[in-house]
Chain A
Amino acid sequence: MSRLDDALRDALRREAPPEGFAERVMARIQAPQEAAGGWAKWLNAFRRPQLRWATALAAVALAVGTAEVRSEMQRRAEGERARDQVMLALRITGGKLQMTREMVRRIGYARREQ
C-alpha cells in the first residue's frame, strides 16, 4: 500500500451532507404529491365502483344527446335550403306570369283597334 493510496483515501473520505439534508429531500418528495392532491382526490372519486356505472351512463347519454342535436340541426338546415329553393321558384314563376299577362293584354288591345 503506497503513501499515495493512503493520502487519496484520506483526501476522499466521506463527508457529512449539510444539516437538514434528509428533511429537504423529504420535503421535495412531498411537494409534488400535495400539489397534485386536489386533482387526485377528484379523479379517485370516479374510480369508485358505484360511480363507474353512473359515469358510463352519463357518457352514453351525452353521446346520444349530442348525436340527436346534430341530426336535428342537419334536418333544420335541409328544410331551410328547400324553402329557399321553393321561394326562388315562386319568384321566377310569378315574373313569367306577369310577362304573359302583359303580352295577352297587348294582343287584346291590338285586336280591338283593328
Chain B
Amino acid sequence: MKRILLLLSLLTIAGVSAAQEFSGNIALESLIFSEPGLDASQMDDNITLSFKPKWTGEWNDGDDAWSVEIFLRADNRDEGREHADIRELLWLHLDGDNEWRVGINTMFWGVTESQHLVDVINQVDQVEGIDGEDKLGQPMIHLKQYHDWGVLDFLVLPGFRERTFQAAQGRLRFPIVVDTSAPIYDSSDEDNHVDYAFRFSQTYGDLDLGVSLFKGTNRDPQFDLGPGIPHYVQMTQVALDLLLIADDWIWKLEIIHRDTDPSAYQALTGGFEYTFYGVYDSDINIGSLAEYSYDSRDEGQRGVFDRDLFVGARLAFNDAQSSELLAGIIYDTEKHSQSFRLEGNRRFGDSWKGTIEMQVFSNVDPSDPLAAFEKDDFLLLEIARFF
C-alpha cells in the first residue's frame, strides 16, 4: 500500500505539472448488510473512501494526446477491496482514418444491460461490484481504422490482469476465500501471454452491428484445481452484438461462441427497452427493460445468467439534478432464485452526487452461483465530490 501511495503521489505531481485538464471524483461509501454473513469472519457494515483522478493533455493540434486515470480505494476492513489500479495510461495518436492507442486502457464492447458477454478485453474489478462494469486497466496496442464500410479494431494485449477478490472479512464473496497469491495458468507464458482481439462494427440506418474475435487468456477463472485457487485457461471467442432502434423500442442482442476448457459453449443475452416519454404530461421518461440470458453449458459449469430473465424499469426525471432511478429483478426461470436491485442517483449543487443502491437475494437455490451471496442483502449509500 505504501508503495502504491508513493507511486500515486509521484504521478500526481507529474500529472499536475504537465496536464492541461484535471478531473475526477472522491467518494465516501457506506455499506450496510441486513444480516451476518455465511462465514463468521465477514463484516456487517463498512465505510470506505475512493479516489479517481484523471489527467489529460494534447499536443500537435490534438493529433496526439495522453491521459492518465487512476482508481484507488481505501478499505480498513477488507484488504481484498483495498486496492489501486491504473485504468488509463495512454498515448493516443490520430493519423487520418487511423487511431492508435498505446499503453493501458479500459474499454467497453456490447449493448445489453444485465450481462456483458461480448465485453472481454478488460478483466473485471470484481471487488468494486458484481455487475462487471468496473474493470481493470489492460496493457494494449490498439489500432482503430475507419472505412466507409465499417470500423475495424485490431488489438494486441500483452500481459494479463488477474481478477480481484474480497478477503475473508469481505462480503459478496465466494464461501471459500480466493487465494490470489498463486493462480494457475494453462499457458506456460502464465500472465505474460499475449492476447489478440479484432472487431468490426458498422451502423446501417437504425441497426448497429458488431462482430468480434478474441484469442487469449479467459478472463473468467475456474476453481477446478483446488479450493480457492483461480485457474486461468485459454479461449477463443467469436461474438456478435446487435442493436436496433424502432421508434420507442430498442432491441438488443449479444451472442458468443466460446471455445475454452473444459468444453466449447454458446451463450446469449437478448431483449428490449421500451420507453414511455413524458408520462402524464410530466418531464419523466420511463424505460421498461426485459432481457433473457441463456448458457449452453452443463449444469454446474454455468455462470449466474444461465436461464435467467431480467426485468427492470428506468426512471429519468429530466430535472435540474439529473435524478434517475433503476429497479430490476433477475429471475432464474429454472431454479426460481431471485435478485432484486434498486439504484438511484441525483446531483446536489453543482459538484456533488448522491447514490443509493440496494440489493436483495431471495429464494436462492443452493445450486445457484448466487447462493454464495444469500446472506448479503445490502444497502449502499455514496456521496461523491466531482472536480
Partners in one complex: no
**A interface, CB within 8 angstroms of B:** none
